[in-house]
Amino acid sequence: MIIKLHKGDITKMSVDTIVNAANSSLLGGGGVDGAIHRAAGPELLVECRKLNGCPTGKAKITNAYNLACKHVIHTVGPIWKGGNSNEANLLKSCYKNSLKLAEAYKLESIVFPNISTGVYGYPKEEAAKIAIETVMTKSLKLKHLKEITFCVFDDTNYEIYQKLLKDII
């Protein structure tokens, strides 16, 4: 298993699947979600409407349309409420369920954004620790995935991930 860190635009990643930090409607929004919907084109919205939303911690898969990847896995991260509302377990579930879908579709590469750290307010370093720990634990059981990338858009997140991944990549 190859673990990578990339700083840049997740919508430009040429991989099997990117993960969308979506809202529960799956109909687009701000941040990563809005960027993915804009880059994919209107067909993504049409397909997402048929999925009837997605609960927090779960994941659903669609085609990628105009994106460089083949699929988009949409997962709904928890809104940060101070850490006492099951946020950590819900965030772990986002990564686990995304990886399960990737495995079920026999995908070889996946790119994760910083789920829940934008408008949902999850503390960045804590979210990064959960992301890395969950992916590292779950990836040991995967047969098809060969490459997992964490894609960050800003210097702060890049430094956090770089520090946390220094012994892994």
Tell me how far apart the alpha carbons of residues 13 and 22 are, in angstroms, rounded to a whole number.
18
Q: Clarify whether 33 is annotated catalytic.
A: yes
Given the residues 9, 16, 33, 154, select the one marked as catalytic. Answer: 33
- Checking DSSP bridges between strand 147-152 and strand 2-7, what pairing results, if any? parallel
- Determine contact, residues 20/151, Cβ cutoff 8 Å: no
- Per-residue tokens: 33: 């979600």
Tell me how far apart the alpha carbons of residues 157 and 151 are, in angstroms, rounded to a whole number.
9
Number of C-beta neighbours around residue 152 at 10 A? 23
- Checking DSSP bridges between strand 109-112 and strand 59-63, what pairing results, if any? unpaired
Tell me how far apart the alpha carbons of residues 73 and 20 are, in angstroms, rounded to a whole number.
6
By annotation, the residues acting in catalysis are 33
